[in-house]
Structure formats: C-alpha cells, structure tokens
C-alpha cells in the first residue's frame, strides 16, 4: 500500500507492505520516504513520528504492527516483553539509560498493547518465606566461604549476595509471569493484527501466506 501526502517541506510517501525473505514467514512493515520540493530524497525508514503528524489515522494505526510476522507475531515478542518488564520493575540487567524512564511505553509498544482490552501484568513479588530462604542461602554461603578461608564472617557480603540472589529469583519470576501473559493474549493479538491488515487490503491465510485483496471504500 502506497500513500503519498503533500507536506510543507515537500512530499511524504508511506509504504506499508508484507515482505517475505527466502523461507522466512512474511512480515509487515510501515516505512516512509520524505522528498523535498525538488523531489530529492531527504530521509527514509521507519518514520513513524512523521507518519503520525501527517498521515490519516487509518494509515498511522498500521505503524503499531511494524515488524509483525504473519503468524508468529511481533518480532522478538516474548524476549522484548521480558526485557522491558525487567526495566519497568527495577530489575534491568544493564546500566541505567535515559530512555529507561519510558520503559512502560516501550513495553506497551513492543507487545502492541490494547488499551481497551489488555490489562498490565502484575509485579511478581516473592513471599516472605521465599525471601527468608534466600537470605539463609546467602548467610550459609558466606559463612562456608569464611570458614574455608579462615576469615571472619562479613555481614556486608551476606547483604550483597542476598540482593544478588533476590534479583535472580525475581527475574526468573518475571520471565514466568510475562511468558504466561504473552501466551494468554497472543490469539487475540493476532486476531487484531489480521483484522487490521485485512481492512488495509491483505489476507493472511491459515498457512501463513499473504494475499492482496480488494477493499471496499
């Protein structure tokens, strides 16, 4: 689908399409090309901010499905969901970055969150007895190391190890919770995707092939 829009600085050409590379299943993408008044290419790519600013809502709404596969859904659906959930819940694995402040928006974007139908997953807090067991594990490990090396027991090491064990346990729990959440909503997610692209002129067949269809105006 090609949409050409006149903008103050020239022309914006929006391209929405399914692409199939080799044996890979087809994926949907929405990109744009901006040309100046002399018809020279200025920029191109996933220019979704420009599309949102200049295109009709029906065209902009396709952007949320950018890089969504015909059957398996958004690219890195589960991995990205877990990654952004960890940051959202203070369990990020890397040094903090300014964009981490938008973790909620990034999470919703990567899973194509439906504000009218979806509910956010809840933070999977550990029970008191689970925390107690982790603290005991940390104390026992530090004590055993101290005895083996004929050193005094260090409470700071106990605290540090407890935090590490607690973080690891919470990350495992986050992965479980997000996996269940993503799996449960996946059928409705793909139904929404197929309905959206159908309205725009594509039909996703049961075997994952995509065909172009006529759309009544």
Give domain status of residue 215, yes or no.
no
Q: Is residue 112 part of a domain?
A: yes
pTM of the complete model = 0.87
pLDDT tier at 75, thresholds 50, 70, 90: very high
Q: Which residue has the tokens 């090491």?
A: 157
pLDDT digits over 151-202, tens only?
A: 777 888 889 999 999 999 999 999 999 999 999 999 999 999 999 999 999 9
| Residue at 79 is within a domain | yes
Q: Which domain holds residue 180?
A: 2-125+162-206
Q: Does residue 76 lie within any of the structural domains?
A: yes
For residue 19, the surrounding DSSP H or E stretch is: strand 10-19
Q: Is residue 201 part of a domain?
A: yes
φ/ψ region of 83 (left if φ > 0, alpha if ψ in -120 to 50, else beta) reads alpha
* Total number of domains in the chain: 1
Residue 97 lies in a domain: yes
Residue 22 in domain: yes
Q: Does some domain include residue 30?
A: yes
Q: How many Å apart are CA 78 and CA 1, to the nearest integer?
A: 29
d(CA 166, CA 173): 11
Give me the helices (H) in 36-154, please.
48-54, 57-60, 77-88, 103-110, 128-148
């Amino acid at each position: 689908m090609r949409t050409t829009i006149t903008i103050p600085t020239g022309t914006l050409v929006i391209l929405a399409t399914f692409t199939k590379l080799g044996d890979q299943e087809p994926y949907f993408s929405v990109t744009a090309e901006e040309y100046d008044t002399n018809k020279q290419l200025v920029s191109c790519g996933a220019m979704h901010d420009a599309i949102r600013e200049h295109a009709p809502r029906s065209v902009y709404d396709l952007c949320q499905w950018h890089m969504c596969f015909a059957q398996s859904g958004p690219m890195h659906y589960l991995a990205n969901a877990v990654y952004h959930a960890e940051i959202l819940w203070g369990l990020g694995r890397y040094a903090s970055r300014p964009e981490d402040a938008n973790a909620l928006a990034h999470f919703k974007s990567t899973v194509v969150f439906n504000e009218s139908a979806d509910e956010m997953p809840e933070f999977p807090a550990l029970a008191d007895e689970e925390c107690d067991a982790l603290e005991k594990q940390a104390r026992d490990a530090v004590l055993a190391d101290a005895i083996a090396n004929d050193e005094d027991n260090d409470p700071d090491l106990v605290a540090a190890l407890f935090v590490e064990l607690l973080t690891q346990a919470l990350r495992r729990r986050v992965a479980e919770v997000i996996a269940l959440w993503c799996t449960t909503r996946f059928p409705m997610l793909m139904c929404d995707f197929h309905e959206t692209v159908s309205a725009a002129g594509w039909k996703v067949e049961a075997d994952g092939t995509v065909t172009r269809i006529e759309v009544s105006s």
